[in-house]
Amino acid sequence: MSVSAVTPPPSPAKIRARKGGTPLVCLTAYTTPVAQLVDPHCDIVLVGDSVGMVLHGLPSTLGVTMEMMSLHGRAVARGLKQAMLVVDMPFASYEESPQQAFRNAARLMAETGAAAVKLEGGVHMAETIAFLVARGVPVMAHIGLTPQSFNTLGGYKVQGRGAEADKVLADARAVAEAGAFSVVLEKLPESLSRRITEEVAIPTIGIGASPACDGQILVIDDMLGLFTEFQPKFVKRYAELGAEAEKAIAAYAEEVRARTFPAPEHVFSDEGKGK
C-alpha cells in the first residue's frame, strides 16, 4: 500500500527565502482539530494571543498568559505535519528586557515545539529581537496595529497614515535589520504596506494591509464566520459557520423538546445488536 508523502514544515530560513515568491498562506489555530484542518493548506500556523478573545471570552489580548499560550501551542502542534508552528509571546512576557524575552521564548519553544515566536513592536523591540535571534530563537515581528498596545494607540484604528508613515517604515526596517525572518503588517494603508514590502528584505505578512504583501494571515474564526456580530473591514468571510451552527443547535433543541430525538436508530435494543 502506497503512503502519500508529507512535506516537512518549512524552517524560518525557508520562509525568509520565500520573499517575493509565491505568497505565504497563514492562519491562526488554537486547537488540535482546527490545526489538522488548516495544516495541508498553510505555510504557517500561528497560535495567536487572539485566543484570549476568541476562545476565552476576554475583552482584549492583555489577559492572555504564558500558560494559555503553552497549552494551546501544544494542542496545535499535535495537529500539524506540514505547516510551520509559530506561537505568540503574550503581553508582559518580553517587554521588560531581552533576558526576560529569551527566558519566555525559550520556554514556549521547548514546551510547544514551535519553530518560532512572534512579538509586537518595531524600533523599540529591535534590541530584543537581535538578542533572541543571536541565541537561536527565530522571531516573527509584528508592526502597525499592535493589539497589545491598543490602549496607547487609542484603540484598534488604522496606523501609519500621514506623518505616522515614516515611523512605521522605520519600525519595519528596524525589525528586519535586527534579524526577524518575517514581519506581520496589521491595519496599515495599502500604499504604505506595498512600500514596506518593496523595501525590506524579509517577507511581509498582511492583515488589513496589501495584496502586494509576501503573504496573508487571518484569524480562523473570522474567516469562517463563526462570529456573526463582528466583521473587521479586512476580513473576507469564506463561510458562515456561526449561522449554520446556530441553525443546527436550534434544530437539535426543537427535536429534544418534541421527543423526536433520539429516534429509534439512535438507541439500543435488548437483542444485543449494535455497539
Is residue 38 one of the residues assigned to a domain? yes
49 is in an annotated binding site: yes
What backbone torsions phi and psi does residue 24 show, to the nearest 5 degrees? -75, 135
Is-contact 120 142, C-beta < 8 A?
Answer: yes
221 is in an annotated binding site: no
CB-side exposure of 127: number of CA atoms within 13 Å?
Answer: 8
**Strands (E) located in the chain:** 24-28, 44-47, 84-88, 116-120, 139-144, 182-186, 204-207, 215-218
Indicate which CATH number applies to the domain containing 222: 3.20.20.60
Is residue 7 one of the residues assigned to a domain? no
Is residue 275 one of the residues assigned to a domain? no
Percent of the chain whose pLDDT exceeds 70: 95
How many other CB atoms sit within 10 Å of the CB of residue 20? 11
Question: Which pLDDT belongs to residue 4?
Answer: 57
Question: Which pLDDT belongs to residue 231?
Answer: 75
81 is in an annotated binding site: no
How many other CB atoms sit within 10 Å of the CB of residue 75? 18
Q: Which amino acid is at 153?
A: L
d(CA 101, CA 95): 7
Is residue 260 one of the residues assigned to a domain? no
Domain count, the chain: 1
Per-chain mean pLDDT for the chain: 94
Percent of the chain whose pLDDT exceeds 90: 89
118 is in an annotated binding site: yes
What's the domain range around 18?
12-240
Is residue 98 one of the residues assigned to a domain? yes
Given a cut of 60, is residue 274 above it in pLDDT?
no
d(CA 236, CA 6): 29
Is residue 196 one of the residues assigned to a domain? yes
Query: Which positions are annotated as active-site residues?
Result: 186
Question: Which pLDDT belongs to residue 1?
Answer: 43
d(CA 128, CA 123): 10
Query: What is the distance, to the nearest Å, from the Cα of residue 247 to the centroid of all Cα atoms in its chain?
Result: 28
Cell of 130: 537581535
Residue the block writes with cell 443546527: 248
Write down the pTM of the prediction: 0.94
d(CA 41, CA 186): 22
Cell of 195: 512600500
d(CA 237, CA 219): 11
Is residue 197 one of the residues assigned to a domain? yes
User: Per residue in 16-54, pLDDT tens?
Assistant: 999 999 999 999 999 999 999 999 999 999 999 999 999
Is residue 101 one of the residues assigned to a domain? yes
Is-contact 91 62, C-beta < 8 A?
Answer: yes
User: Per residue in 89-148, pLDDT tens?
Assistant: 999 999 999 999 999 999 999 999 999 999 999 999 999 999 999 999 999 999 999 999
User: Per residue in 217-262, pLDDT tens?
Assistant: 999 999 999 976 667 889 999 999 999 999 999 999 999 999 999 9
d(CA 148, CA 53): 12
